[in-house]
Amino acid sequence: MRVHLIGVSGTGMGALAALFVEAGHEVSGSDVAFDPPIGPALRELHVRCVEGYDAAHLEPRPELVVVGNAIRRENPEAKAAEALGLERASMSGALREHFLAKRRPLVVAGTHGKTTTSTMAAWLLSGAGLEPGWFIGGIPKGLRAGATRGTDVVRPGRGRAPFVVEGDEYDAVYWHKQPKFLDYVGVGADDVAIVTSVEHDHIDIYPDVASYESAFREMVRRIPERGLVVADAREARVRAIVTAEARARVATASLP
């Protein structure tokens, strides 16, 4: 299908564009600039990159329009997509529907350390021969790309192949004001979440510590009983949230 991403130069949106290309779709994207490293990476993937925002960029009409979380309702392309009745999705919603549905998500969440921890998890799972997919907000060292589909083959004794997701607590999109990482959990009965740290951030949408922590509490609650929550034992807020909210099995980890 044809997929158009509005705000494609963001690290997450660029990674999603790469996944759609890998899946065999025709991909275009718009943004105000296409600076390194994301812009050159998109062009290497043969993503059609168009500068600025204009309703004309929706021709030929795409089957799916993905709207980045930096895009506002007044954006010309966002307004045109809604007026034309085109199928729309947030970045996190598109990732869930098109790439996580048949996989075992491993969601890495936390104020700090998400990218590093996600990269390490993807590298370890690859080394173990599990053919993971991953979705990382950047271009990590030691991996061939910031995002890849991996395999969706279910192997006897192993179950669904893992898919590592760097889970962001920021809003998904202007019409769906919830943390993006909530779209990544509750996909299956054995989801995994890693919580690295919880320190008040994004004060534009979380005015106080309690509102910020509530996002992480909800994510932990949504991990099914057969799932797993891995918590950083050094972080008091992480320990408190996981202890109070987890239905799943809990494991702790720490560095000296």
pLDDT on residue 74: 97
Q: Are 18 and 37 in contact (CB under 8 A)?
A: no
Q: What is the DSSP letter of 171?
A: E
Tokens standing for residue 100: 């996580």
Does 150 or 158 have the greater pLDDT score?
150
Q: What is the DSSP letter of 181?
A: G
pLDDT on residue 153: 84
d(CA 48, CA 189): 38
Residues 182-193 have pLDDT tens digits of 999 999 999 999
Q: Are strands 104-109 and 192-195 parallel, antiparallel or unpaired?
A: parallel
Class of the CATH domain delimited by 94-253:
alpha beta
Alpha-carbon dihedral of residues 151, 154, 156, 157, nearest 10 degrees? 80
Q: Are 33 and 50 in contact (CB under 8 A)?
A: no
What is the CB neighbour count within 10 angstroms for residue 94? 24
d(CA 199, CA 62): 40
- Where do the domains of the chain lie? 2-86, 94-253
Q: Say whether pLDDT at 255 is over 80.
A: no
pLDDT on residue 140: 87
**For residue 91, is it left (φ>0), alpha (ψ between -120 and 50) or beta?**
alpha
Q: What kind of fold does domain 2-86 have according to CATH? A: Rossmann fold (3.40.50)
Residues 7-18 have pLDDT tens digits of 999 999 999 999
Strand, helix or coil at 185?
Answer: coil
d(CA 253, CA 234): 8
Tokens standing for residue 25: 């779709």
Q: What is the DSSP letter of 155?
A: B
d(CA 122, CA 134): 6
Smallest CA-to-CA distance from 15 within 38, 43, 46, 44 is with 38
Strand, helix or coil at 203?
Answer: coil
Residues 68-124 have pLDDT tens digits of 999 999 999 999 999 999 999 999 999 999 999 889 999 999 999 999 999 999 999
Query: How many angstroms separate the Cα of 198 from the Cα of each of 98, 154, 166?
Result: 29, 34, 15
d(CA 101, CA 110): 23
Residue 47 Cα to chain centre, angstroms: 19
